[in-house]
Structure 1
Amino acid sequence: MIESWVINDDSPVPVSSEAVVEALRSRIASGQLETWLTSSSGRSLAFVTNTERALVMLLDSEGDPGEHAVDLGAEGTSDGFVLSDGQGDEYPDEDTVPIGEAFRLVRHIVGAGSWPTDAHRVVDR
């Protein structure tokens, strides 16, 4: 069975790897900087952005600490990561990736079910 993904607070119709980046861009343009996707196998994919960088996390199940994309060698911190409840977060740049890279990662995970082989990530389990 091929895993499918839906955006949690949008349509229950699965989003394709070809359409997911446009869906994220649309949500960002409307001020929704936090997006959660859920797969048909119960996994979750989080995307939180400040429009320049994004935190991308893949969780196997509820309560799983998961794994997240990293930008090795990045220095400093960035703020402006606004969650759906209005909370504003700040993250070390090493724990986020540039928005273009985040889009690439999400597109690949939605299409293939796994991180790209060249993706840098940290397992938080």
Structure 2
Amino acid sequence: MIESWLIDDGSTAPVSLETVLEVLQARIGRGQLETWLSSSSGRALAVVTNTERAMVMLLEEEGDPGEHAVDPGANGSSEGFMLASGQHDEYPNEDTVPIGEAFRIVDHIVSKGSWPPDARWVADR
């Protein structure tokens, strides 16, 4: 059984596989640059973006340091990652991915339950 996912914004209805990217893009368009999704199996998927790059994290359970998508060899760092708390973060570009890649990764995790086979990621455990 494929797990279902909820946007952690008080929603009680699962986000459909067909609309998860539309929902994510709409939230970013409204300036909501941090999005957490929780799965029916207890996992969490986070996307924090500055609209150009994104930190994508997958956690197996509460308290898990998780895994995050990487862009090996990317130079520099980017700022403008605004958390829901109002905190502004800056991340090395190698610890984030271009926004299009982030959408592809999220789509695959939500639909298949795992990282895309060709995605680069590291475990933070």
Name the TM-score, length of structure 1 as normaliser. Answer: 0.97
Partner residue in 2 for 1:124: 124
Offset of residue 72 of structure 1: 1.0
Partner residue in 2 for 1:25: 25
Paired-residue identity, %: 71
Offset of residue 11 of structure 1: 2.3
Q: 1:6 to 1:98 in 2, by over 3 A?
A: same
Aligned length: 125
Residues in 2 aligned to 1:92 and 1:65: alpha-carbon distance in whole angstroms: 18
Gaps of 5+ in 2: none
Deviations 1:28-51 (A, max 9, x none): 111100000000000000000000
Partner residue in 2 for 1:93: 93
3-state secondary structure, aligned to 2:18? helix
Offset of residue 10 of structure 1: 4.7
Tell me the C-alpha RMSD between the 2 structures. 0.8
3-state secondary structure, aligned to 1:22? helix
Q: In the alignment, is residue 106 of structure 1 matched against residue 106 of structure 2?
A: yes
Gaps of 5+ in 1: none
> Which residue identity lines up with residue 31 of structure 2 in the other structure?
G
Name the TM-score, length of structure 2 as normaliser. Answer: 0.97
Offset of residue 107 of structure 1: 0.5
Structure 1 residue ranges, 4+ long, deviating more than 2 angstroms after superposition? none
